[in-house]
Amino acid sequence: MGGFLDAPIRDKNPDPGSNEYFQWGACAMQGWRSSMEDTHICQLVNMPNKSDYGQLFGVFDGHGGAEVADYAKQHFKNTFMK
């Protein structure tokens, strides 16, 4: 886990998106940590009957470290993209 800064980094990292079914927006801010450790996912997913659709929205908190958040994101993505 990263250390803390003397002052928070308040720059915003907006990430809008859309597909034929949904529109969404996500935004991140680093804050007091020395590096950004969170990640998110906004992903269209394949449903079992292939004529249906779904959308996966997730925020993965990096309090266990950026590697943990990235690992969780990849495994959610791999699971739902089959």
CA 43 to CA 65: how far, in whole Å? 23
Give the tens place of pLDDT for each residue, 8-37: 999 999 999 998 888 999 999 999 988 888
Q: Are 73 and 42 a contacting pair, CB within 8 Å?
A: no
pLDDT at 45: 80
- Position 2 scores a pLDDT of 57
Residue 42 near residue 24, CB atoms below 8 Å: yes
How confident is the prediction for the chain on average, in pLDDT?
86
The pLDDT of residue 24? 92
Res 6 pLDDT > 90: yes
Percent of the chain surpassing pLDDT 90: 37
21, 65, 69, 70, 77 from 28: Cα distances, Å: 24, 16, 14, 15, 20
User: What does the DSSP 8-state code read for residue 21?
Assistant: S
